[in-house]
Amino acid sequence: MNLKSAIAASAVFVGMFTLVGCGGDECTQASDQLTSCKIMPANTSASTPAAEVTCTGGTLCSATCTNNATCAELMNAFIGPQTSVSTRYLECVAKCGPTK
pLDDT of residue 13: 58
28-65 pLDDT tens trace: 999 999 999 999 876 655 454 545 668 889 999 999 99
pTM of the prediction? 0.70
3-19 helix and 71-78 helix, angle to the nearest 10 degrees: 100
Q: What is the pLDDT of residues 83-96, one digit of tens each?
A: 999 999 999 999 99
| pLDDT tens-place string over residues 59-68 | 999 999 999 9
- How many CA atoms lie within 13 Å of 51's alpha carbon, on the beta-carbon side? 2
